[in-house]
Amino acid sequence: MPINFDQVPSACFVLEEAKLRRNLEIMKHVQEASGANIILALKGFAMFSTFGLIRQYLHGTTASSLYEARLGYEEFGDEVHAYAPAYFEDEMEELMRYCNHITFNSPAQWERFKHKILSGDKKISCAIRINPEYSEVETDLYNPCVIGTRLGVTADQIGEKLPEGIEGLHFHTLCESDSYALERTLKAVEARFGHLLYQAKWLNMGGGHLMTREGYDIDHLVQLIRNLREKYDLNIILEPGSAVAWQTGYLTATVEDIIDSRGIYAVVLDVSVSAHMPDCIEMPYKPKVLGAQDAKPGQPAYRLGGLTCLAGDYVGDYFFETPLQVGDSIIFNDMMHYTMVKTTFFNGVRHPSIGIWREDDTFELVRQFGYEDYRNKLS
């Protein structure tokens, strides 16, 4: 049954549990058919109230910081991978307690910390992030292969042999991409780093594999992974974030005011685009709104905007069959990935709650936010 939004407060991020399970079933099939391991990228989705379900399907988590690594270790399990552009001396020993795989951004970073890794009591498998100098990501903000990138190293910066103690390689050049973009990327990876793949034990192909999007060629992905594993005798790891939470939930909002701004109706909602949906501005993209439709001649445009003082705190123009009124509900679709992980308390505006629409068609309010959450960021 569809969600009964009358039972969901405003504003609220609400995850639909059945849709999350659907995505996880797809990933389970990919793992079983290909032999790859899929782990959850916390940078894209870190709603740990869902980890009990996710750990039934995925092997672990991957972190971009000490705090993400700790969250993954404490709330998901002890299979924790990490990658960051730089690590800190005063955090490395704690990071090592949580992680069993650590990827370093450069040979220099590895040289700085390898004595801690190799002399420690815990076995930690380490890798270097590589830059294949090929990416199909069109938005520079998300393209790790642009000239001047700080993410990963090129083949000439590693040489003919993996550094002593390094067992893996890691690349991440995709963003909500299909398997054919991966195939073209792998050609660049093999051309530049093939000799090192033969020396490695594992290859982490990062995130951006949007295998849960309708129309994604799962069989093609599976064959690519099988071919890699057979050719190089590698363990293959994928770490999607968006794909896990793709099309699994919503952000509910309410119309608080409508202002006629020279023929465009400027709508003030009880959420903020810049504070609660920042990816819409950064990417940028315009999310779908349930009940909105294409423009018709003479139909007014409603510019949906937020609560903050930022002039650009709006998400775009929408059209509705029935004119909007104060108090009407606005439901933004696909608001689980790269939303909650990026929200802020800018202007001190009220933060949306977090909830789950369970598979038994009941709503569970998981978290509400208040003044103390805002205050504690600043004290």
Residue 61, amino acid:
T
Distance CA 98, CA 66 (A): 9
Question: Count of CB atoms within 10 A of residue 309's CB?
Answer: 10
Q: Chunked in runs of 10, what are the mean pLDDT values of the chain (379 residues)? A: 92 98 98 98 98 97 98 97 97 98 97 95 97 92 92 95 97 96 98 98 98 98 98 97 97 98 95 95 93 88 96 95 96 96 96 98 97 92
In which region does residue 188 sit, left (phi positive, over 0), alpha (psi from -120 to 50) or beta (all else)? alpha
What is the token pair recorded at 107? 């040979």
CATH 2.40.37.10 residue spans of the chain: 5-12+249-335+343-376
pTM: 0.95
CATH 3.20.20.10 residue spans of the chain: 35-245
Tell me phi and psi for residue 218, to 5 degrees: -60, -45
Task: Give the model's pLDDT for residue 283.
Answer: 87
With beta carbons less than 8 A apart as the criterion, state whether 167 and 125 touch: yes
In which region does residue 161 sit, left (phi positive, over 0), alpha (psi from -120 to 50) or beta (all else)? beta
Tell me phi and psi for residue 137, to 5 degrees: -70, 120
Distance CA 38, CA 28 (A): 8
Q: What is the DSSP letter of 81?
A: E
Span 35-245 CATH architecture: Alpha-Beta Barrel (3.20)
The CATH code belonging to domain 5-12+249-335+343-376 is 2.40.37.10
Q: Which residues make beta-bridge pairs with 365?
A: 355
Displacement of CA 159 from its chain's centroid (Å):
32
